[in-house]
Amino acid sequence: MLSPEQLSEKLKDLRNITFPFLENVKPSHLAGKSILVPGGAGSIGATFVKMLVSLGPAKIVVIDPDENALSHLIRDVRNTTFPEDLPEIITLSLNIGSALFEDWALKHTEFDYVFSFAARKHVRAERDIWSVLSMFECNVLAHAQLFRLYPRARLFSVSTDKASAPANLMGASKRMMERILFSTGSTDRVRSARFANVLFSAGSLTEAFWHRFLKQQTFACPKGVKRFIMTKEEAARLCLMAGLSETPGIYFPDFDSNQHQVLLSDLLLLMLESLNITHTSFYQEKEALQYSFHKKEQDPWPVLWSMNDTVGEKDEEQFFTATEMLASTQHPGLKYVSMVHSYTNEAQTEIFSNLQKWLHTPPKGGLSEFKEWVNFWVPEYQLSEGSRSLDQKL
């Protein structure tokens, strides 16, 4: 049976493009350096940390609230590298943005680079005001604290393609994070990256496909929805290239919307083919479940095809808008937004004050009031309407 890593290599061929900037690039900037990696135990963060190990840093500190994921990361690193070739690696199970993290950070100011992968990234979280405020607490407030605590380090904070013309609050929170990052006192030390849907990363649709396969569940997939795709290794490499780039900006792969987007339905069909699975199609949830409840081992696998009627989901993704100034890099296949709108100190103070107040007492108007507030500070945010949330779908 093919592993998710092997499936990723097959699935990425659907996009009909490779990344020239990934080839024959061996950054030497990190040799002997001290590097802090918040969110470093997640899918892309962990892949990034494993990549760092081979680049000769003196010290890597990984911050992540998931202590089990940290254990898996250390185990993976120590089982793939000779002890004498390992940098000093320290893991801490902390939330950035917390008082405990701030106390630790004030005592550990020695980092040359900060690469943050910490994020709340689920559109699914937009079902209620409390979940949304928790997302903004991580994506906005915690990162504002992080940027403040390391005024001399080179800062990289990962963004998302959903931050471009955001159609959901997750994308808007990342757009706000971008602007706060580029509102720091010295913008020549800040970088970010927007990248595509990462195959088999935590929370991705392909990971959901894999779990459905392992649990013998009905596959569910929207029809007509297109996305850009990358592997975890490509995403980690893009973040490394962006963080080490000479010019400040928000970096992204030079995909063409007309040529390189992939139908999610095609991803599923190729995955089924690669796993030697035959399928039968359904268009009603109840019919698909009735079939699956009585399915015999030799029967075709049920696939439920649905409409894209989910709140906050676009039919197609993009990396930049017409109002952003684009530039090319010396690496073919890699571009960046060179001029990033920033907030004044007064605007940041007001943003932080409102969020901190709402963390104690959410706005009386609930999500509607909060969305209006977000739209004021992120005018590009336009909620993509839908009839259902992800939690209401198979």
Q: How confident is the model at residue 328 (pLDDT cuts 50, 70, 90)?
A: confident
> Helix, strand, coil: what percent of the chain each, to 5?
45, 15, 40
With contact defined as beta carbons under 8 Å apart, do 258 and 73 qualify? no
The pTM score is 0.92
Question: How many residues belong to the chain?
Answer: 394
State the average pLDDT over residues 105-126: 89
Angle ∠(343,346,351) on CA atoms, nearest 5: 70
**Least-confidence region, from 99-103, 137-141, 157-161, 304-308:** 304-308
Exposure string for 325-341, b = 16+ CB within 10 A, e = fewer: ebeebebebbbbbeebe
Q: What does the pLDDT read at residue 316? A: 74
Tell me the per-residue pLDDT of 228-241, one tens digit each, with 9 for 90 and over: 999 999 999 999 99
The predicted pLDDT at position 390 comes to: 64
Across 148-171, average pLDDT: 93
pLDDT at 47: 97
Q: Say if residue 363 is exposed, middle or buried (CB neighbours under 10 Å; 0-12, 13-18, 19+).
A: middle
DSSP lists the bridge partners of residue 158 as: 193
Write down the mean pLDDT value for the chain: 90
Q: Please report which confidence band the pLDDT of residue 122 belongs to, taking 50, 70 and 90 as the band edges.
A: confident
**21 DSSP 8-state letter:** G
Q: What is the dotted CATH code of the domain comprising 18-196+232-255+315-389? A: 3.40.50.720
Residue 366 pLDDT: 94
Contact by Cβ (8 Å): 155, 114: yes
Average pLDDT over residues 125-149: 93
Q: Give the pLDDT confidence score for residue 131 in this predicted structure.
A: 92
Residues 51-63 have pLDDT tens digits of 999 899 999 999 9
Give 260-293 pLDDT, tens digit per residue. 899 999 999 999 999 999 999 999 999 999 999 9
pLDDT > 90: percent of the chain:
71
Do 134 and 120 meet the contact criterion of CB atoms below 8 Å apart? yes
Q: What per-residue confidence (pLDDT) applies to 125?
A: 62
What's the half-sphere exposure (Cβ side, CA atoms, 13 Å) at 23?
5
Mean pLDDT over 187-211 rounds to: 92
Percent of the chain residues topping a pLDDT of 70: 93
Cα gap 313→171, rounded to integer Å:
10
Angle (CA) 3-80-234 rounded to 5° is 55
Largest CA distance in the chain: 65
Confidence band of 35 (pLDDT split at 50, 70, 90): very high
The whole-angstrom separation of Cα 121 and Cα 374 is 17
Residue 329's pLDDT band (cuts 50, 70, 90): confident
Residue 135 CB neighbour total at 10 angstroms: 22
Report the amino acid identity of residue 322.
A
Q: In terms of Cα–Cα distance, which of 193, 180, 106, 183 is closest to 136? A: 180
